Amino acid sequence: MSENNVVEVEDMTWGQLVDESVKPVIVMFYSPTCPYCKAMEPYFVNYAQEFKNSVFFARINIATNPWSAEKYGVQGTPTFKSFCHGRPVWEQVGQVYPSILKTAVENMVNYGEDCIKKSTPIGQDITGYA
């Protein structure tokens, strides 16, 4: 785990770090030039520290990892997505009040065991090629 409890994920490590995580996962999809991402980053890092024992925090640069962004329909940054057993269960796009993000994390902590019942599998056949 990194110093700030947020792990940088890439397309090649997504499966191991997000899909196979035993903890619920919150991912911040970002781009390096996004001012809203930079504004949200300190809150994301703080929540990663506060909830490090219950939730896995990750971020992914969509400029260098387009496959994961395409797979999960990310069209803008920042996009926050919660995953349970590799399935997305919550999403928030854009700069939001920090309390909204914190409530989402608290919900993952409090209801994480039930999150799989509220999720939908994503098809894995996204390639862009015939």
Confidence (pLDDT) at 109? 84
Average pLDDT of the residues in 100-124: 74
Q: Mean pLDDT throughout 69-79? A: 94
Averaged pLDDT, 47-66: 95
Instruction: Provide the pLDDT for residue 110.
Output: 84
| Length of the chain counted residue by residue | 130
Q: What is the pTM of this model?
A: 0.85
Report the share of the chain in percent with pLDDT over 90.
65
